[in-house]
């Protein structure tokens, strides 16, 4: 199926033959643009950015690259093609027909799932809005804006579902998605990690490594859904998400690479004397963003997750893979979780369906471990003995059974006093933030990079190192 790109809203959902939906979306479009101009990237709106735009869902040609001004970006609605033989493949209704419409009895649950996912998309754009002003290079500036416009497109993808399948309620939700604001006191975004400030590029790279990766797992679980339009929307979103995680992971890797290089020549190995970011400081950022991202998976023992699984709304990661998940009903068995009790930890058994948040989180953590291994390869190649680590799932949690307890990054339970005394070795301190901030000076000369980060191995779309990813027109 190819897309119709001559339309106001590029899409492969045959928008032109659905006048009511088309009108609703065209009414929403100017509000979306107002939102973008108000709380999207500050500045740069008149500049031409080398961006890829989704133009179809064909595996070998969905992306078109070219210089565009961000407000002219063509945010479209794309679903992966209908699979003829798809049936429900997990939960109570295995083998049943997938749904093209929302079943009345699941309306509330589906709306909640979609709105929660949708809310994260504009939130991250708001969180990242000032970063352009301190970009370490044109390459990085372009990557930031690529992530931003695609999060905008993800919002479109979810708003399409709300408007098409949830009538007036859906239209109201679509409006509210443009009204809530990341970090706003009275009208914040729904999930906590999406209200945290992202004030520097190290935070941005950690966010795109760990928080966008939560997005990957949430979208993956929804891509298994029996509600077919949701499954097909989220499956296409995953193709874009891969680039966001690439930006994050390679961003941190490039910081580590540069630091490793500087450690060899800096006086007493202290990279802060030569404008580098110490590995311990990078580790503290990792600790912070991993913990905040783990919180996004919700309660370990969750009746909602059981309901979603039973009904076929939300599966496990790669649910269709029979060798990974031989039992798609998950009615038997339990998940054993160590929970805090009387100053120690004790085993708690959670019926499997109620533990689906945890099962998804475990897949996420395995993935994060591999990221850490790849970062450690950078240190290994540099001949250094230092290593990055993934903090324990118990560390610095604000949700779930470990919330508020003084666990160290290695997972041991400390006294409150001991934790407080070590706090600044676990998490970024005010001094850390101030130091990182002092390094954030913009570098916009083609092919040049800030001193705290190594250049990438190769350019976007294999372009040369000095490619002009951003053509400036407006005043910066």
Q: How far is the CB of 473 from Fe ion (least distance, A)?
A: 27
Cβ proximity of 266 and 257 under 8 Å:
no
Interface with Fe ion (CB under 5 A), residue total 6
Pick the stretch among 212-220, 287-295, 325-333, 451-459 that binds Fe ion (CB under 5 A). 212-220
Interface with Fe ion includes 235 (CB under 5 A)?
no
Interface with Fe ion includes 212 (CB under 5 A)?
yes
Q: How far is the CB of 343 from Fe ion (least distance, A)?
A: 40
Q: How far is the CB of 153 from Fe ion (least distance, A)?
A: 8
Cβ proximity of 87 and 97 under 8 Å:
yes
Instruction: Give the pair of three-digit tokens for residue 222.
Output: 């929804």
Among 89, 111, 244, 354, binds Fe ion (CB under 5 A): 244
Q: Of 423, 396, 425, 440, whose CA–CA distance to 199 is shortest?
A: 440
Q: How far is the CB of 105 from Fe ion (least distance, A)?
A: 29
Helix, strand, coil % over all residues of the chain, rounded to 5: 50, 10, 40
Phi and psi, residue 180, nearest 5° = -60, 155
Q: Of 150, 149, 144, 146, whose CA–CA distance to 131 is shortest?
A: 144
Cβ proximity to Fe ion, 245 vs 439, nearer residue: 245
Pick the stretch among 105-113, 117-125, 163-171, 378-386 that binds Fe ion (CB under 5 A). 117-125
Cβ proximity to Fe ion, 201 vs 395, nearer residue: 201
Cβ proximity of 298 and 305 under 8 Å:
yes
Cβ proximity to Fe ion, 123 vs 260, nearer residue: 123
Q: How far is the CB of 149 from Fe ion (least distance, A)?
A: 11
Cα separation values, 221 from 229, 277, 316, 353, Å? 14, 36, 5, 14
Q: How far is the CB of 248 from Fe ion (least distance, A)?
A: 9
Contact letters for Fe ion, residues 148-187 (x by CB under 5 A): ---x--x---------------------------------
Q: How far is the CB of 386 from Fe ion (least distance, A)?
A: 30
Distance of alpha carbon 306 from alpha carbon 6, whole angstroms: 44
Pick the stretch among 45-53, 119-127, 271-279, 324-332 that binds Fe ion (CB under 5 A). 119-127
The overall longest dimension of the chain from CA atoms, in Å, is: 69
Pick the stretch among 19-27, 114-122, 136-144, 188-196 that binds Fe ion (CB under 5 A). 114-122
Cβ proximity to Fe ion, 196 vs 244, nearer residue: 244
Q: How far is the CB of 384 from Fe ion (least distance, A)?
A: 31
Distance of alpha carbon 283 from alpha carbon 289, whole angstroms: 10
Question: Contacts by 395-399 with C-beta closer than 8 Å and gap 24+?
Answer: 395/287, 395/290, 395/291, 395/426, 396/287, 396/288, 396/291, 396/426, 396/427, 397/291, 397/294, 397/295, 398/192, 398/291, 398/292, 398/295, 399/192, 399/294, 399/295, 399/298, 399/299
In the window 324-353, what residues touch Fe ion (CB under 5 A)?
none
Cβ proximity to Fe ion, 204 vs 407, nearer residue: 204
Q: Which residues bind Fe ion (CB under 5 A)?
A: 121, 151, 154, 212, 241, 244
């Amino acid at each position: 199926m190819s897309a119709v790109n001559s339309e106001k809203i590029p899409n492969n959902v045959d928008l032109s033959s659905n006048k009511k939906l088309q009108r609703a979306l065209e009414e929403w479009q100017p509000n979306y643009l107002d939102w973008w101009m108000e709380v999207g990237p500050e500045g740069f709106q008149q500049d031409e950015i080398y961006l890829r735009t989704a133009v179809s869902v064909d595996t070998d040609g969905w992306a078109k690259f070219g210089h565009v001004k961000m407000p002219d970006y063509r945010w479209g609605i794309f679903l992966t093609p209908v699979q003829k033989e798809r049936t429900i493949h997990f939960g109570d209704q295995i083998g049943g027909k997938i749904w093209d419409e929302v079943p009345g009895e699941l309306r509330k649950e589906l709306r909640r799932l979609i709105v929660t996912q949708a809310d994260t998309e504009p939130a991250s754009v708001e969180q990242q809005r000032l970063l352009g002003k301190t970009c370490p290079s044109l390459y990085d500036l372009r990557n930031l804006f690529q992530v931003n416009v695609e999060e905008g497109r993800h919002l479109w993808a979810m708003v399409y579902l709300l408007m098409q399948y949830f009538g007036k309620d859906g239209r109201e939700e679509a409006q509210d998605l443009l009204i809530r604001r990341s970090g706003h006191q009275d009208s914040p975004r729904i999930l906590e990690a999406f209200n945290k400030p992202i004030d520097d590029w190290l935070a941005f790279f950690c966010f795109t490594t760990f928080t966008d990766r939560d997005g990957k797992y949430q979208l993956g679980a929804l891509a298994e859904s029996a509600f077919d339009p949701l499954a097909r929307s989220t499956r296409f979103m995953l193709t874009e998400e891969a680039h966001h995680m690439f930006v994050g992971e390679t961003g941190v890797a490039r910081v580590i690479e540069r630091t490793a290089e500087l450690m060899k020549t800096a006086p007493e190995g202290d990279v802060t004397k030569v404008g580098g970011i110490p590995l311990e400081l990078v580790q503290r950022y990792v600790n912070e963003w991993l913990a905040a991202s783990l919180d996004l998976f919700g309660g370990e023992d969750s009746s909602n997750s059981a309901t979603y699984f039973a009904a076929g709304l939300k599966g496990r990661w790669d649910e269709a893979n029979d060798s990974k998940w031989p039992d798609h009903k998950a009615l038997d068995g339990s998940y054993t979780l160590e929970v805090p009790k009387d100053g120690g930890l004790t085993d708690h058994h959670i019926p499997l369906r109620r533990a689906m948040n945890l099962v998804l989180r475990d897949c996420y953590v395995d993935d994060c471990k591999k990221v850490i291994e790849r970062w450690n390869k950078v240190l290994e190649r540099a001949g250094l003995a230092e290593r990055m680590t993934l903090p324990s799932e118990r560390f610095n949690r604000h949700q779930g059974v470990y919330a508020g307890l003084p666990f160290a990054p290695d997972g041991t339970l400390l006294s409150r006093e001991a934790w407080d005394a070590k706090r600044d070795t676990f998490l970024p301190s005010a001094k850390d933030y101030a130091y990182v901030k002092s390094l954030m000076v913009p570098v916009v000369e083609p092919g040049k990079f800030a001193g705290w980060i190594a250049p990438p191995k190769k350019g976007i779309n294999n372009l040369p190192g000095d490619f002009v990813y951003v053509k400036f027109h407006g005043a910066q």
